[in-house]
Amino acid sequence: MRKPEDFEGKSGNSCLGNTYANMNDLKAQMSGNNPEAKAVKNTQDRLTLVLIIFLILVFLILVIFTSLLFVYYDRIAKDIAHQLNNVKECTSQFENKLEQHKNETKPSCESGWLEFDGHCYFFSHFQLSWTSAQMMCLNRGSYLVIITSQEEQEFLNQHINKKTYWIGLTDEKTEGTFQWVDGTLLNSPPSYQFWNNKEPNDYEKKEDCAELSIAEKWNDSPCDKIQFAICEKRPI
């Protein structure tokens, strides 16, 4: 069998020999016994290992950082919740003290007066005419009662104790046109009417003042009639 050297010598062509030599070198480099190939492979393995370790470290750092952030924000959230509870508690204490202060400074009715819906009422224990009753109320810083609601009427009825009382309603100025002592016409809102049956009737043309009767309804009566009276005013 002829060797490549013989072929090269005979043909005088060196290309084929060079190609063969290069192939031998490549085989040698690819061979596991080639020191340079081993070095390259070892280097690649080390780089791969380093890269894996680096990625693991980065992952661990991210996990630790995320955990620390979670702990930090959890602590902040608890601190905020604690502060909010403190604020709510302080607000509640302030509101309680404010309400207590309001109750302490809240206007109240004088002794002998009854309170209802922000007003004070005095039921006289003595009898007098309608005009004298109005003067009596004025001397007490009040006026003959003005009834403006069903609830107020019911409150008064609970305390008349089967007696008849003057109320602040009259038609002395114009017959048939009743008005309260503050000038409000009876037929104008928010006035209410609780007349007894067939009242007012101006009996014998002498009945110009209104009373709250024992029947818990209104009647018109002579203004000089002597009976009890109800005064009304705001608390002080």
CATH of residue 137: 3.10.100.10
Measured at the CA of 197, the angle between CA 195 and CA 203, to 5 degrees, comes to 85
Domain boundary among 57, 89, 106: 106
Number of folded domains that form the chain: 2
Reference 233, options 124, 128, 116, 154; nearest CA is 116
Q: What's the CA gap between 30 and 27, in Å, rounded?
A: 5
User: Are residue 168 and residue 216 in the same domain, yes or no?
Assistant: yes
Residues 124 and 192 in one domain: yes
Question: Which pLDDT tens digit goes with each residue over 200-222?
Answer: 999 999 999 999 999 999 999 99
Given 106, 122, 155, the domain boundary residue is: 106
Is 199 inside any structural domain? Answer: yes
204 plus 222 within the same structural domain: yes
Domain interval for residue 49: 31-106
Q: Which residue has the higher pLDDT, 109 or 24?
A: 109
| Same domain as 151, residue 125 | yes
Task: Tell me which amino acid residue 147 is.
Answer: I
- Kindly report the CA angle at 231 between 219 and 100, in degrees rounded to 5? 135
**11 confidence band (pLDDT: 50, 70, 90):** very low
Same domain, 75 and 126: no
Q: Do residues 36 and 77 share a domain?
A: yes
Q: In terms of DSSP H, where are the helices of the chain?
A: 4-11, 15-30, 35-105, 130-139, 150-157
Beta-sheet pairing, 218-221 with 209-212: antiparallel
Q: Say if 220 falls within a structural domain.
A: yes
Rounded CA Rg of the chain? 55
Asked if pLDDT for residue 130 goes beyond 70, the answer is yes
First to last CA, the chain: 139
Prediction pTM value: 0.57
Q: Which of 78-87, 121-130, 138-147, 220-229 has the lowest mean pLDDT?
A: 78-87
The percent helix, strand, coil of the chain (3-state, each to 5) is: 50, 15, 35
Tell whether 14 is covered by a domain: no
Q: Do 60 and 133 belong to one domain?
A: no
Do 127 and 208 reside in the same domain of the chain?
Answer: yes
Domain boundary among 81, 106, 131: 106
Quick check: 51 pLDDT over 50?
yes
Q: Which residue has the higher pLDDT, 236 or 4?
A: 236
